[in-house]
Every structure is written in C-alpha cells, then in structure tokens.
C-alpha cells in the first residue's frame, strides 16, 4: 500500500464515521467557521436552523422542482461575501468532516447543490454576483453567484453590439451552467458558454485561490465542461463577448399534428444542423397538463422556436431555401435587439416586458412544479414511425402531467471544435440533443410520471447515440448512474455515468481530479472520483 492509499482510506473512514447526524460535530464545525471568519460579519452569513433566514433560504431552493427531497437538511447555509470566507469553510469542512454542497443558481435537475443523503452544509454564492464588462477588450468578469439573465442585462446596458452565448432561462446560475457547457440560442454561431471562457478564479481543496495561470492548463480545461463540484469552488469566470448586430430576428411558429407536425419534425431533422450558422431552429414538442385529448389522442404542439442573427429578409431567404415546408411568413417574424430576444425566448415573461425583469433573480420562478429531465443525442434522423411511437407514448402519460421534448440543433460552431478541446464532447456527428422533460403538479403523480419518463427513454434507445448513449451533463440525470456518497466510488462505477457525459474525456478528468483533490473533498453523486492508488 502506498502512502497515498493509506491516506485515502483514513479519510474515507474519517468522513464515513460522520454519516449520521451528530449535533456535537456540527457544533464543532460551526465554532470553527465562526472562529475562522471572526473579522468578517459572521452573524450575517452563517444561517443555522435557529435563524429565521435559514428557512426562507431553504424553502427558496425547491421553487424550481418540488420533486427533490433528501434525508438531511443542511446543517448550515453559508452565504459568504468574500473569497477568504470560502477558504475558511473548506478548512473547517476538512477538519470536521462535514460535507460541502456548492450552490450558485440552484437549477441542478437533481438538486445536488442543496440536498444530500449525508450531513452537509451549503456554500451558497448568492452574495458573489458582481459583473464587470470591458467593451473595448470585449470581455467580462462575472462572479459565480450571478445569473445568466444578470450577465445578459449588464452586457446590453454597456453595449447594444455585444452578446454572450449561454442558456435560455435567465435564472440559471453561471456557476453551474458554464462549468457543465451551457447551450442557448447562439450556440450554433458561437459555441457553448464553456467554449467562451478565457480565465477563471477558483478555490481548490487546499484553500488556495487560483486563476488560469496558477491552476495550470489541465485544471482550467477540466472546469470548462467537466462540471462544477469536482474541481474546486469557482468564484468567477472571465468570458469572451461577441459582436452582434443591433437587430436579430426571432419567430415562434406552432404546428399541430393536424397541420402536418410529424412530417415537419421529420424534415427538420435533415436540415437543423446544416443551415446557416446564424440560424438556430429549436423545436419543442409540447403537450401540457391542460392540453385536451381528441379521439383518444393527446394534443401535441410542435413549436419552432427560432433565433436568426440577421434581418428578416435574409431569414426568409434562408428558410425558403432550407425549410420551405414550414411555410414561414414575414408576419411570423419579429426583428428586435438581442436583449429583447432573451426576454422573448423566456416563456415566463409576456411580450413587452422590460429587461429589468432579468435582474429579479429571486422572484421570477415560482412554478411549484414537479419535474424530471433526461437527455439524449441523435445522430441519424428518427423515422416517421419512430416519431409516431413517441406521440403514442405521450398518450400514456397520465392526464395530470405534461411533457415537453426539446430538440436542440447542433452543427455550426459546436461541431467545428474537437471532442477533446473541452470536456464537453458532443461535437461533429450530432444532429441534435433531446431534453425530455415531464412535469406534474402533485406528489401523488410522481411514481407514474417517473416510470413514464423512464419508459420513453427505453423506447428511444434505438433512435439515439450508442456506446456510450451520450447525455448532457447540465441535464443531470441520476438514473444513468451514481457514486457512493461517502466518497469511496471506484473508477469502474463512475465510468458508467462518466462516459455518457464526457465520452473519452472522462479518463483525463479522473487523472486531473486525482492530482488536485486526491481525498475527494469536493464530491457528490456524480462528481469525478480520484483514483484510489
Ligand atoms: C428552468 C431551467 C432551464 C434551463 N435551461 C438551460 C438552457 O437553456 N441551456 C442549458 O445548457 N442548460 C439549461 N438548464 C440546465 C442548467 O444549465 C444546469 O442545471 C446548471 O447546472 C445550473 O447551474 P446553477 O448554477 O443554476 O445550478 P446549481 O444547482 O447551483 O449548480 C449545479 C451544479 O454545479 C455545482 N456548482 C454550482 N456552482 C458552482 C461553483 N461556483 N463552483 C463549483 N461547482 C458549482 C453545484 O454543486 C451543482 O452540482 C436549465 C435548467 C433549468 C432548471
Ligand atoms: C458524536 O460525535 C462525537 C465525537 O466524534 C462522539 O463522541 C459521540 O459519541 C457522537 N454522538 C452520537 C450521538 O453519535
Ligand atoms: C455587517 O452587517 C451589518 C448588517 O447587514 C452591516 O450594517 C455592517 O456594515 C456589516 N459590517 C461589515 C464589516 O461588513
Ligand atoms: C442567527 O442566530 C444567531 C444566534 O441567535 C445570531 O447571532 C445571528 O445574528 C443570526 N444570524 C442571522 C443571519 O440572522
Ligand atoms: C403535409 O406534408 C406532405 C408531405 O410533405 C405534403 O404533401 C402536404 O401537402 C402537407 N400538407 C399540409 C397541410 O401542409
Ligand atoms: C396547453 O395546450 C393547449 C393546446 O394544446 C393550449 O390551448 C393551452 O393554452 C395550453 N395551456 C398552457 C397553460 O400552456
Ligand atoms: C410560443 O407559441 C406557443 C404556442 O402558440 C405559446 O404557447 C408560447 O407561449 C409561445 N412562446 C413561448 C416562449 O413558448
Ligand atoms: C430579491 O432580491 C432583491 C435584490 O437583491 C431584494 O431587494 C429583494 O428583497 C429580494 N426579494 C425576495 C423575495 O427575496
Ligand atoms: C463503499 O462503502 C459502502 C458503504 O460504506 C460499501 O457498501 C461499498 O461496498 C464500498 N464500495 C467500495 C468500492 O469500496
């Protein structure tokens, strides 16, 4: 046995000996934390269950997804205002063996940023959300607790000619979103958010504050798609901004099954990844909770949701050439600024809403829905019969649930980048990504809805990527495999889910993890494990 192995075994024993709730060691942790941050405003940033602020914070975490539950509540919610306070929290976590969960925007599909099956505390980065834009150099520094909506807003405030390619929902946090990829309406033109990161600050397992130069290129590679959590606590990103015309063109056109939706979806698969890079034709196949059943058939809307970087005439020309079957009319299209398009694409906001709404990060999502997401990559068009099989399955979902499949086109910039350039490996050869989202309103519908979403996933196996059946890390899905949460996960066990998210990049991620966090301080159910010898 090497020294390293013995050390790892000891630390496993050490942390697993705390795998039950033990008031004494939480008090010790609390004392350690208060002691370490004595010069800061500790009473304002440490929230224990005795504080009223604790339950306000805790309840807000579940607003996105009521399905999430866990055996333990966080012992402490820590809302640091400075990087030095995070260092202190890591130090105390190591001494007292209390597991860390890191939360930025809190949109994790499985709630891994705020729940755990072992005693834990949360480092919630909501107070670290400053953004500074350099319009000359076309760069921005954005702290990890900011939302993408805030970043978009600040960019637009400084310049009408700059933009950043990231996701659609403005409440998503840059901390989790950028570290797992980040797909949005500009992805075919500029790539993922992670493709546009040029520097970062993070705090490693030894409590050191590192930037790109001091962490080194391997470590910097890992955090641009390899997922948050595994490689440290990211406190800020430096990103590259892109030129955008003062007007872009958008449309949202719906077709029902009676209006040939099946044929249109079939045709769409032959052009979506090949059209002009300025055009991103996203497709949502929606059947909501209140959508009526007609002749035993649930009504399904195929919504063609589109961003074009350019004017309306150019768009109509491109559509006529590539997708005349859709029958797009000039009246369907709206020219607007890029920041207006952000609001247009976000379902929650009615037309004409002021961009200021992008700053209301803590009030804009209160849907109280139960939600399960899964993902797939499609490399060959799904046949008409295959599509009709999906519609049939829609009818098997209970009436008290809704479903949306999002077909997000790839190609363009996404496929110009090699699979190993960043840990995000979904590049050339993919036509589109599917997100399967099932929604329901009441806990009693959970089992049926979850079973249904797994059934649909099984049905899709023959139509999607194989060996591995790839998945998108940011659409986290614990069905595809999990670690042991006490930290002793083997390479083989983690490889099951790891190659789905990262393909061949998984091995390099494991090597980097082994070097920078050998005792697995930063871990969750789907974090990269270090090699044990
Ligand atoms: C409503 C909704 C809409 C979405 N839309 C899109 C979309 O358009 N495009 C897209 O690509 N994805 C989308 N997603 C998925 C989204 O990208 C991921 O859920 C992402 O991980 C969320 O980041 P977060 O900071 O909000 O979440 P969190 O829950 O805070 O974090 C997610 C994970 O990253 C870790 N983490 C968070 N911050 C840090 C940090 N600073 N350092 C280290 N680790 C950290 C957390 O521990 C957790 O494991 C959407 C999700 C939801 C719920
Ligand atoms: C809690 O932990 C302390 C210190 O490790 C230990 O002495 C004590 O027995 C534990 N208490 C319980 C209830 O498990
Ligand atoms: C501590 O918090 C209080 C209340 O929010 C504030 O008035 C005070 O300025 C803070 N002090 C420091 C040193 O941050
Ligand atoms: C939490 O409670 C403690 C002890 O009563 C108090 O000192 C502290 O100021 C409270 N913190 C917050 C954030 O309310
Ligand atoms: C539906 O699609 C078929 C095949 O592409 C086409 O022949 C037909 O005209 C379309 N019908 C409508 C109503 O668009
Ligand atoms: C649900 O879908 C139906 C049509 O399928 C539509 O009429 C209705 O407005 C939708 N409801 C919501 C809440 O989106
Ligand atoms: C797009 O159109 C559909 C169907 O008409 C509608 O339900 C939806 O609210 C529109 N906007 C978005 C953002 O989906
Ligand atoms: C939301 O955040 C804003 C700005 O930080 C704050 O003023 C407001 O009180 C918050 N609202 C809620 C409901 O927490
Ligand atoms: C890890 O620990 C768990 C419980 O402590 C045990 O059941 C499992 O076999 C261990 N796994 C490995 C790979 O050592």
Considering only the C-alpha atoms of the chain, give the largest distance between any 2 of them, rounded to a whole number of Å: 72
Q: How far is the CA of 37 from the centre of ligand 3 (A)?
A: 14
User: Does the beta carbon of 53 lie inside 6 Å of ligand 9?
Assistant: no
Burial 157-180 (b: 16+ CB within 10 A, else e): ebeebbbbbbbbbbbbbbbbbbbb
Q: How do residues 58-72 score in pLDDT, each as one tens digit? A: 988 887 788 998 888
Pocket perturbation via mutation, ligand 5, pick of 262, 263, 304 by most ligand atoms within 8 A of CB: 263
Which of 184, 211, 220, 178 minimizes the C-alpha distance to 196? Answer: 178
C-beta neighbour count of 433 within 10 angstroms: 24
- The Cα–Cα gap between 396 and 258 comes to 20
Average pLDDT of span 5-15: 37
- The Cα–Cα gap between 402 and 399 comes to 8
pLDDT score recorded for residue 66: 87
Q: Which ligand is nearest to the CA of 79?
A: 4
Strand partners, 438: 372, 403
Helices vs. strands in the chain: H and E counts, helices first: 18, 20
Q: Which ligand is nearest to the CA of 149?
A: 1
Q: How do residues 450-478 score in pLDDT, each as one tens digit? A: 999 999 999 999 999 999 999 999 999 99
pLDDT at residue 424 is higher than 50: yes
Q: How far is the CA of 361 from the centre of ligand 8 (A)?
A: 8
Q: How far is the CA of 252 from the centre of ligand 7 (A)?
A: 7
Average pLDDT of span 485-490: 87
Cβ contacts of residue 72 below 8 Å, gap of 6+?
21, 115, 116, 117, 118, 119, 120
Ligand 4, atom nearest to 52 Cα: 14
Q: How many residues does the chain have?
A: 533
Which stretches does DSSP call E strand in 368-497? 370-378, 401-409, 432-440
Which sign, positive or negative, has the C-alpha torsion 356, 407, 106, 177?
Answer: negative
User: Does the beta carbon of 254 lie inside 6 Å of ligand 9?
Assistant: no
pLDDT at residue 294 is higher than 80: no
Average the pLDDT over each of 190-204, 372-386, 464-478, 485-499 and give the range with the smallest value. 485-499
Six-digit token string for 320: 């006529």
Cβ contacts of residue 315 below 8 Å, gap of 6+?
249, 279, 308, 333
Q: Which ligand is nearest to the CA of 293?
A: 6
Average the pLDDT over each of 191-205, 269-283, 367-381 and give the range with the smallest value. 367-381
- The Cα–Cα gap between 178 and 192 comes to 8
pTM score of the predicted model: 0.92
pLDDT score recorded for residue 349: 66
C-beta neighbour count of 448 within 10 angstroms: 16
Residue nearest to atom 2 of ligand 6 (CA): 291
Q: How far is the CA of 358 from the centre of ligand 8 (A)?
A: 13
- The Cα–Cα gap between 147 and 126 comes to 9
Catalytic residue among 457, 463, 475, 501: 475
What domains, with CATH codes, occur in the chain?
3-124 (3.30.43.10), 131-243 (3.30.465.10), 248-336+368-463 (3.40.462.20)
User: Does the beta carbon of 41 lie inside 6 Å of ligand 3?
Assistant: yes
pLDDT score recorded for residue 128: 97
- CA angle (163, 167, 172) in 5-degree steps: 115
C-beta neighbour count of 12 within 10 angstroms: 17
Ligand 5, atom nearest to 259 Cα: 13
- CA angle (223, 474, 448) in 5-degree steps: 155
CA 430 to chain CA centroid, Å, is: 19
Q: How do residues 243-256 score in pLDDT, each as one tens digit? A: 999 999 999 999 99
- Whether omega before 468 lies within 30 degrees of 0, making that bond cis, reads yes
Which of 453, 479, 469 minimizes the C-alpha distance to 371? Answer: 453
Average the pLDDT over each of 94-108, 191-205, 341-355, 416-430 and give the range with the smallest value. 341-355
Six-digit token string for 402: 């809704």
The yes-or-no answer on residue 472 being catalytic is no
**Residues with C-beta less than 6 Å from any ligand 2 atom:** 22, 24-25
C-beta neighbour count of 82 within 10 angstroms: 15
Cβ contacts of residue 159 below 8 Å, gap of 6+?
133, 135
Residue 381 DSSP one-character state: P
How far, in Å, are 271, 289, 315, 408, 475 from residue 372 at the CA level? 29, 15, 35, 18, 10
Confidence of residue 350 (pLDDT cuts 50, 70, 90): low
Residue nearest to atom 12 of ligand 8 (CA): 362
pLDDT at residue 528 is higher than 60: yes
Confidence of residue 398 (pLDDT cuts 50, 70, 90): confident
Q: How far is the CA of 345 from the centre of ligand 7 (A)?
A: 9
């Amino acid at each position: 046995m090497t020294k390293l192995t013995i050390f790892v075994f000891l630390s496993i024993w050490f942390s697993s000996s705390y795998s039950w709730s033990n008031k004494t060691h939480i008090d010790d942790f609390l004392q350690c934390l208060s002691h370490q941050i004595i010069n800061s405003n500790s009473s304002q940033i440490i929230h224990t269950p005795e504080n009223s602020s604790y339950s306000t914070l805790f309840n807000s975490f579940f607003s996105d997804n009521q399905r999430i539950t866990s055996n333990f509540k966080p012992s402490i919610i820590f809302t640091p205002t400075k990087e030095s306070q995070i260092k202190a929290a890591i130090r105390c976590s190591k001494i007292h063996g209390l597991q860390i969960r890191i939360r930025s925007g809190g949109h994790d599909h499985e709630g891994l940023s705020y729940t755990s099956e072992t005693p834990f505390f949360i480092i919630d980065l909501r107070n670290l959300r400053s953004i500074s834009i350099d319009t000359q150099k076309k760069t921005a520094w954005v702290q990890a607790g900011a939302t993408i909506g805030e970043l978009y807003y600040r960019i637009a405030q400084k310049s009408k000619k700059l933009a950043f390619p990231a996701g659609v929902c403005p409440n998503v946090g840059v901390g989790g979103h950028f570290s797992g990829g980040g797909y949005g309406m500009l992805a075919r033109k500029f790539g993922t958010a992670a493709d546009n990161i040029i520097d970062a600050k993070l705090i490693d397992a030894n409590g050191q504050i590192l930037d790109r130069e001091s962490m080194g290129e391997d470590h910097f590679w890992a955090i641009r798609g390899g997922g948050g959590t595994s490689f440290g606590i990211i406190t800020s990103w430096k990103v590259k901004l892109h030129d955008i015309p003062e007007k872009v063109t958008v449309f949202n056109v719906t077709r029902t099954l009676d209006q040939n939706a099946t044929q249109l979806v079939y045709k769409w698969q032959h052009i979506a990844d090949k059209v002009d890079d300025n055009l991103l034709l996203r497709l949502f196949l929606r059947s909501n909770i209140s959508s009526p059943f007609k002749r035993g058939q649930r009504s399904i809307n195929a919504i063609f949701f589109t961003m074009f970087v350019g004017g309306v005439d150019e768009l109509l020309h491109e559509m006529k050439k590539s997708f005349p079957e859709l029958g797009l009319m000039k009246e369907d299209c709206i020219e607007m600024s890029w920041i207006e398009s952000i609001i247009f694409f976000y379902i929650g906001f009615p037309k004409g809403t002021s961009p200021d709404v992008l700053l209301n990060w803590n009030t804009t999502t209160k849907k109280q829905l139960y939600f399960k997401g899964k993902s797939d990559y499609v490399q060959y068009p799904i046949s008409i019969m295959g599509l009709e099989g999906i519609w049939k399955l829609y009818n098997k979902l209970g009436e008290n649930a809704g479903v949306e499949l999002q077909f997000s086109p790839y190609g363009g910039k996404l496929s110009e980048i090699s699979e190993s350039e960043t840990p995000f490996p979904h590049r050339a050869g993919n036509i589109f990504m599917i997100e399967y989202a099932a929604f329901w309103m009441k806990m009693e519908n959970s089992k049926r809805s979850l079973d249904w979403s797994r059934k649909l996933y099984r049905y899709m196996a023959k139509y999607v990527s194989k060996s591995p059946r790839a998945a998108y890390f940011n659409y986290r899905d614990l069905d595809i495999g999990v670690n042991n949460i006490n930290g002793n996960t083997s390479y083989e066990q983690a490889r099951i889910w790891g190659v789905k998210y990262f393909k061949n990049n998984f091995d390099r991620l494991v090597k980097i993890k082994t070097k920078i966090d050998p005792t697995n301080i930063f871990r969750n159910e789907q974090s990269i494990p270090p090699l044990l010898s």
